[in-house]
Structure 1
Amino acid sequence: MQHTMYATRPAFPATNMLRPILTTALLAGAAAGATAGLLHLVFVQDILLSAETFETGSEQATSAVLTVRNALTIMIMVMLYCGYGLILVALMAFYGQTGDRIDARRGLLWGVAGFAVVILAPAFSLPAQLPGATETDLATRQIWWMIFVVSAALGIWLLAFGKTPGQWAAAVLVLVVPHLLGPQLPDILTGSAPMELAALFTARSLGVGLLTWLVLGSVAGAIWRREQAEPA
């Protein structure tokens, strides 16, 4: 009796790449999101509550309401940074095809770049606003936020991987020009919170963002290296 042998089809390369990307992004995103949420509660939450008091003139919310608000803050942060993690790890995987090793130390550099793109570049012209601050049209802020993020991503990529003076000059232009054309301060500032509170809010928001992106980059780099070291 003749037996027919069937060869097992090898796994599709994209499938082999997708699993470690998802695993790395979700684990690193959860760690970074939890970090962001906790840092927000410790360093930023009281500033927001004070600004809300200045805006409304009423007392702060009850402890039960704050507990729900804090839990939602952490959940949203985890979801947000899982999304950022997917983008970051996908770029790491693409870069890793060149043969350069990705590890926790390299991940820190990727984290700094991510912070510069997503938080620092937009904040240069669109700083975080407290409740009661002089209102800027939300749609306009969103459009310019996207422009600043895309231009920063392109500019940093050209600075990091460009090989000619022309590419580096183009990177500087891409980084600077959007901020020259972007939204300007309103003629009249009518925020209800003191300027000192707004300055502290902006500074701490940037600090929390930096620490969070460092966690995201380093954890993603460490997990990605472990995933790549495991046999397929």
Structure 2
Amino acid sequence: MFRSLVLSACLIGVVLGLAMTAMQAVGVTPILLAAEQYEVSDDPHASAGGHHAHEHEGHAGHHHGEEAWAPADGAERLFYTAVSNIFAGIGFTAILLVVMNQLRERGRLALTAGRGLTVGVLCYLAVFVAPSLGLPPEIPGAAAADLESRQLWWLATVVMVAVGLGLLILARGWKRGLGLPLLLVPYAWVPAHEGPLFSNPDPQAVVALSELHHEFIWASGLTNLAFWLLAGLLCVIALKRLKNNGTARSHDEVPG
């Protein structure tokens, strides 16, 4: 069963990664490229056309490094984006398949399309919406707190919100009451940057960046929602096939 789950996670991860890459190419990447045109280098002697390294995962923010490598725009950038999305898809799917399979075996999850979509929505709330309430997705040129602090906060928020949602939905009795505090604890402290979001000296550039920032939040939100809905559906399909195959093998092993 474990081998089948791993193989399913890899196959689903490839589909999710390619789908996410296609959606990002249409709705997210153009916004990032537009925002990069307004970036101001920290080095006054740096070339205006130089490349900066960006980390544009849903909540991780970004940082700049003069010596950092970045893929060239076009096919190379698309390729590395696809590879990154595929690995992320495999990782998330592996966790999702294991959790959903355990719930199925305990009779807490029916393998239906509706339940798959529900699981996808819950994952979307935990992995994207909850962290975005504290640290919205950022575009190039946006000021942000220390990267390590944001990453640790993002990870802690995802874990606590996921556990909190799980308790609210699956727990019984007094244990269910522990779910709500877990949803609120991450926002007691958020590593937010103090000061203006954009430091570009051109007021018109700041206005343009602010508009791009709002567009980026919406685009990221929609692509992540589609990602998780598709993930929930594909995981249900995979688990249903594994269940049917296991049942068929059991029947074959019964002596006639």
TM, length-normalised to structure 1: 0.85
Are residue 85 (structure 1) and residue 93 (structure 2) matched?
A: yes
Higher RCO by CA contacts (8 Å cutoff, separation 6 or greater): 1
Label 1:180 to 1:85 Cα distance change in 2 as closer, same or farther (>3 A): same
Q: 2:190 aligns with which of 155, 171, 182?
A: 182
User: Which residue of the partner structure matches residue 103 of structure 1?
Assistant: 112
Unpaired runs of 5+ residues, structure 2, are 42-47, 52-71, 201-205, 250-256
C-alpha distance after superposition, 1:52-73 (max 9, x if no partner): 1110595698xx7411101211
Call closer, same or farther: CA 1:135–1:182 in 2, change over 3 Å: closer
Q: Does 1:120 align with 2:129?
A: yes
Does 1:223 pair with 2:238? yes
Shift of residue 85, structure 1, vs aligned partner: 0.3
User: Residue 21 of structure 2: which of 11, 15, 37 is its match?
Assistant: 37
Residue 97 of structure 1 deviates from its aligned partner by 1.4
Report whether the alignment pairs 1:139 with 2:154.
Answer: no
State the TM-score, normalized to the length of structure 2: 0.77
2:212 is matched with 197
Relative to its length, the structure with more helix (as a share) is 1
**Structure-2 separation of matches of 1:94 and 1:60:** 50
Tell which deviates more after alignment, 93-102 or 32-41.
93-102
- Compared with structure 1, are the counterparts of its residues 191 and 223 closer, same or farther at alpha carbon in structure 2 (3 Å cutoff)? farther
Contact (CA 8 Å) 1:109, 1:217: kept in 2 or not? yes
Residue 151 of structure 1: how far off its partner (Å): 0.7
The structure 2 residue matched to 1:149, chosen from 138, 158, 178, is 158
1:159 corresponds, among 148, 153, 168, to: 168
Change in 2 beyond 3 A, CA 1:191/1:95: farther
Aligned residues: CA RMSD: 2.0
Q: CA deviation at 1:177?
A: 1.9
Give the Cα separation in 2 of the matches to 1:108 and 1:176: 25
Contact preservation (8 Å) 1:103, 1:224: no
Percent identity over paired residues: 29
- Count the aligned residue pairs: 213
* Residue among 64, 67, 71 paired with 2:79: 71
- State the shift of 1:24 in Å: 2.2
Provide the C-alpha distance between the structure 1 equivalents of 2:131 and 2:232, rounded to a whole number of angstroms.
Answer: 20
- The CA distance in 2 between the partners of 1:182 and 1:148, in whole Å, is 10
Distance (whole Å) between structure 2 residues aligned to residue 191 and residue 73 of structure 1: 28
CA contact (8 A) 2:164 2:179 kept: yes
